[in-house]
Structure 1
Amino acid sequence: MPAELPPYLAVADQLRQRVASGEWSPGDRLPSRAQLAQDYAVGDNVVRRAQELLIAQGLLEGRAGSGTYVAEPRERVRMVRSSAREQHGGSPFRADLASLGKDGSWEHRTEAKVPAPAGIAARLGLAPGELCVRTEYEFLLDGKPVQLSTSWEPYALTGGTIVVLPEGGPYAGRGVVERMAAIDVVVSHAVEQPEPRLATADEANLLGVPKGALVTHIQRTYYSEDGRPVETADIVIPAAYSEIVYEIPVR
């Protein structure tokens, strides 16, 4: 094993190569942890960490009381983030998947007049505790969860209007840009900050991935033409299911 790698990474690399070479196929059960530890002259804990890494990456899967198996491959969806996705009206998520010939839908839960946590308030230019409308989304591809999002909108902006509930009224599910336009708020741009991290236990449960699986967390905020934040969201996309591509216009 390469000396420059930590032992668990070296073992993970060896296991990955054995899957890639076809020695083990999807659905095959790996040798026991004790056997692998003996094969690589390492401790059981090193093999455990290597397997946990590969499980998080979607290559392996653990089955309680049975062992560790090569995971069945799941098609990764190409998610393109671009300004063009906001210019057609309706839900950008549904439009994204429709362009791939796939069916996109979502489940949601909205709470009105929720005090904004300090971090959310800062992103929206509010004082901590100011009221917001919070909506939690579980986005589905062909009925299977592929993305989570928690959206916050200032209640002072939409309260008492026909778009106060993102998933209610005549503009239900129409997307932030179109909904805001209905109350004469012109959204000029959005800022997205993506970063990789590990899924929390709750996220893993909702997405059907192992706890600690790799995800991309996107912090997104929409701004009106006068520079006012009108919505902010935390979007979580599992790396095993989706690849994220940014399209940047040059003119």
Structure 2
Amino acid sequence: MREQPPYLRIADVLRQRIADQEWTPGARLPSRAQIAQECGVGENVVRRAQELLISQGVLEGRAGSGTYVAKPRERARLLRSAWRDGQPGDGFGLGPRATWESQSEAKVPVPAHIAARLGIDVAELCVRTAYEFMIDGRPAQLITSWEPYSLTGGTIVVLPEGGPLAGKGVPARMAEIGITVSHAEEAVEAGQATAEEANLLGVQRGSLVTRVRRTYYGDDGRPVETADIVVPVSFGEIVYEVPVSR
């Protein structure tokens, strides 16, 4: 068997020392140089081990201060339900304490991978809407939504968060312009936060996130909207409520 990389071994050592309550929540860890000397490794190995534990929510880094044992936080339960009415961005239910901001841009050039998901040519334009959700001031969820401008341009629902149907969700807005949404597909995968995502979510770059690629389809099979949803793993778990036929 291949030998475990040194930084993973040191991460296990640090995790065990926390479990043994040598360092309690909120406590500042010794310097990297001290830990490196105690463990017989280089400081870069300790740095990688700490970065891994920060991404997992075990530690937290404070600029100019050091590395601390993270205080336990109750993870939220983000619910997706077939019976829930639409909400801004059609994201995961965050409860009544959630607040959100959005910004829409019309006639935006579409990236190639988004064009492929929407089944349109890269020369076509889209309406792009970026959402940021928070709970009690804590970043909770990012959503970037794309809709073909050819579908909604010139209608009262061209901007998802503008007009009389603002915040009603994709199915309700599309119904207003005669498009019946029949279903949605969602692909879920684990990933690491990019620098931009980390900044918006208040986490370290490379922290674990759950990514959901969601696409709504009309009853003719044509994609009418696609979105990328990003949730920090440390914030909460995603739960799907699945209807069962009787």
Q: Same fold (TM over 0.5)?
A: yes
- Residue 140 of structure 1 corresponds to which residue in structure 2? 134
What is the match of residue 34 of structure 1? Answer: 33
C-alpha change, 1:93 and 1:189, in structure 2 (3 Å) is closer
Residue 191 of structure 2 is matched in structure 1 by: 197
How far is 1:92 from its partner? 7.7
**Unpaired runs of at least 5, structure 2:** none
Which letter maps to 2:123? G
The offset of 1:118, in angstroms, is: 1.1
SS in structure 2 at match of 1:84: coil
Contact in 2 for aligned 1:215/1:237 (Cα 8 Å):
yes
CA contact (8 A) 1:93 1:104 kept: no
**Which structure 2 residues correspond to residues 4-83 of structure 1 after superposition, within 5 A?**
4-83=3-82
Give percent identity, aligned residues only: 66
Q: SS at the partner of 2:83? A: helix
- 2:226 aligned residue (213, 228, 232): 232
Letter of the structure 1 residue corresponding to residue 93 of structure 2: D
Correspondence for 2:240: 246
Against the structure 1 CA distance between its residues 245 and 170, is the aligned structure 2 distance closer, same or farther, given a 3 Å change threshold?
A: same
Hey, what's the Cα distance between the residues in 1 that align with 2:81 and 2:130?
A: 23
Q: 1:89: how far off?
A: 4.0
TM superposition shift of 1:93: 6.0
Q: Residue in 2 aligned with 1:210?
A: 204
Question: Is the counterpart of residue 97 in structure 1 residue 94 in structure 2?
Answer: yes
Distance 1:247 1:18 in 2: 38
In the alignment, the residues of structure 2 paired with residue 164 and residue 8 of structure 1 have an alpha-carbon distance, to the nearest angstrom, of: 50
Are 1:171 and 2:165 an aligned pair?
yes
Following superposition, the deviation at residue 84 of structure 1 comes to 2.9
RMSD, aligned α-carbons: 1.9
* Cα distance, 1:95 vs structure 2: 8.0
CA positional deviation for 1:13: 1.4
Cα distance between partner residues in 2 of 1:95 and 1:104: 11
- The equivalent residue for 2:178 is 184
Separation in 2, partners of 1:92, 1:65:
37
Counterpart of 1:135, as a letter, is: T
**CA separation in 1, counterparts of 2:141 and 2:107?**
25
Could you say if the C-alpha distance between residues 77 and 123 of structure 1 is closer, same or farther in structure 2, counting changes exceeding 3 Å?
same
Residues 245, 179 of structure 1: alpha-carbon distance in 2 compared, 3 angstrom cutoff: same
Distance 1:71 1:245 in 2: 25
Hey, what's the Cα distance between the residues in 2 that align with 1:45 and 1:227? 52
1:80 Cα deviation after fit? 2.3
Using structure 2 for the length normalisation, give the TM-score. Answer: 0.92
> Cα offset for 1:82?
3.7
User: Which residue identity does 2:36 align to in structure 1?
Assistant: A
1:112-159 per-position Cα deviation (integer Å, ceiling 9, x unaligned):
011211111111110002011000110111232111111000111111
Q: 240-249 vs 114-123, which deviates more?
A: 240-249
CA distance in 1, matches of 2:146, 2:175: 17
Output the amino acid matched with 1:191.
E
Q: Distance in 2 between matches of 1:132 and 1:192?
A: 20
Superposition deviation, residue 223 in structure 1: 0.6
Asked whether the 8 Å contact 2:80–2:93 carries over to 1, the reply is no
Q: CA deviation at 1:20?
A: 2.4
Judge which range, 88-97 or 186-195, deviates more.
88-97
Query: How far off is 1:74 after superposition?
Result: 2.5
Partner of 2:216: 222
CA distance in 1, matches of 2:114, 2:218: 17
Distance (whole Å) between structure 2 residues aligned to residue 32 and residue 90 of structure 1 = 46
Aligned-partner Cα distance in 2 for 1:16–1:129? 51
Distance 1:35 1:70 in 2: 16
Q: Deviations over 1:45-73 (max 9, x none)?
A: 11111001011112111122322111222
